[in-house]
Chains A and B, each alone.
Chain A
């Protein structure tokens, strides 16, 4: 149960009392697209103005619903990329070719359009703003999105907590939020390590392989620091990294995971 998170508290909704208590339904709301931003060739950020947004916790997601004129409906879940307390809710969507929803969100939706959302949702893969434990974020591909919300929350706070991000992407062009990550590093707010798995610039100084045990031993804060790890990405990456962190001494309860393939 998450308590005490300022505006995010409504999001979690205390259901510890009676299971039959009348919890209000999470209603669908028509958000307005304020802006769109291309992050990479395949990923676009939607900046949304959501009426009566109750606030969220870093790591939560929303459901998006698209209804066609004939009543046909499609829903998907997308992680929130913006920090809690931001003026707008930002979703970063990876375009999957020939899919049903992501090409619409990436290619058709324009500023001024409405889109239905409901949320925020999810109370486990979250980082509370008052949590000062060392933070280790591991992302693969668009799995970096909910981690970015956590990183942004930290970057804009005065917290001196140690924060590290290990981010695996296919190539340098596939790295989402590249400029902002550089700025966060330059400001000394976090350590960021990129692992490029397929292509890299000839002068690339970062990792040139998939995340493995040696890389985690080099980058992960020592388990004895009492930190918490959040891992988000495709299943093989999440499965492998979570197991390796336990092998190198992390308590399983301190490792939180969110797994997905790209959402069609």
Chain B
């Protein structure tokens, strides 16, 4: 409909410098680390915390906090993009690759399928195609900027899928459910996009 954008009279913004090529359309760079979530910050004591992956066949693999913490970690430095318009460049994380977890799950006969629903303390869920969390693209992050991940940023553990809008990087994550079909999660049922690729500006349901 509006292929030719409306020009805002007298809008001569300062052009961002340097990093413009790394900022997806409609985003701006921030140096802060804004916090966004829908409710109070949940806190589960680590001795009661666990992480599970359940296959479409019902098979489950479970890690305690100590077990998950002991798995090999990677230290990705990535750009992140929130659908509320901020992007933050070169964020430094430490965590376990989802590839590692799915590999261990396969050894326990957990059946992998086309889609994943991540679920969190507090009832939050988000859905992604399996292809978006495999091949070195996603982690269960336990550290941010060299320290244990703070609760307000999703600690003790959050999903990290930096190439999708950041609501996909579920805070306080407790596990993954591998599903045959795409099952829209919390924000996805409230009008946000099923995939959420910031470079295609997939913010809301109905976006290309």
A214 at the interface (CB under 8 A from B): no
Question: Which of A22, A66, A116 makes the CB contact (< 8 A) with B13?
Answer: A66
Q: How far is the CA of A13 from the CA of B207 in the complex (A)?
A: 13
In the assembled complex, the CB of B97 is this many whole angstroms from the nearest CB of chain A, namely 26
Secondary structure type dominating chain B contacts: loop
**Is B10 among interface residues, defined by CB-CB distance under 8 A?**
yes
Q: Once the chains are docked, how many angstroms separate the CA of A15 from the CA of B6?
A: 30
A72 in complex: contacting residue of B15, B123, B191, CB < 8 Å: B15
Task: Report if B39 contacts A (CB, 8 A).
Answer: yes
Contact A235 to B42, CB < 8 A, known contacts A15-B188, A26-B206, A68-B7: no
Q: How far is the CB of B150 from chain A (nearest CB, A)?
A: 10
CB–CB B13/A72 < 8 A: yes
The proximity string for B residues 179-208 relative to A, scoring 1 for CB distances below 8 Å and 0 otherwise, is: 001111011111100100000000111111
Taken together as a complex, chains A and B put the C-alpha atoms of A172 and B16 apart, in Å, by: 35
Q: Are B11 and A67 in contact (CB under 8 A)?
A: yes
B45 interface contact, C-beta 8 A: no
Number of residues on chain A facing chain B (CB within 8 A): 62
B35 close to chain A: CB less than 8 A = yes
Closest chain A residue, CB of each to CB of B2 = A28
Given A24-B206, A65-B26, the answer on whether A261 and B7 have CB atoms closer than 8 Å is no
- CB of A186 closer than 8 Å to a CB of B: no
Binding site for A on B (CB under 8 A): 1-2, 5-15, 25-28, 30, 32, 34-42, 84-85, 122-123, 127, 152, 181-184, 186-191, 194, 203-208
* Chain A contact residues, CB within 8 Å of chain B: 1-2, 11-13, 15-16, 19-20, 22-30, 63, 65-69, 71-77, 100-101, 104, 108, 113-116, 121-125, 235, 238-239, 242-243, 245-246, 252-253, 255-261, 263-264
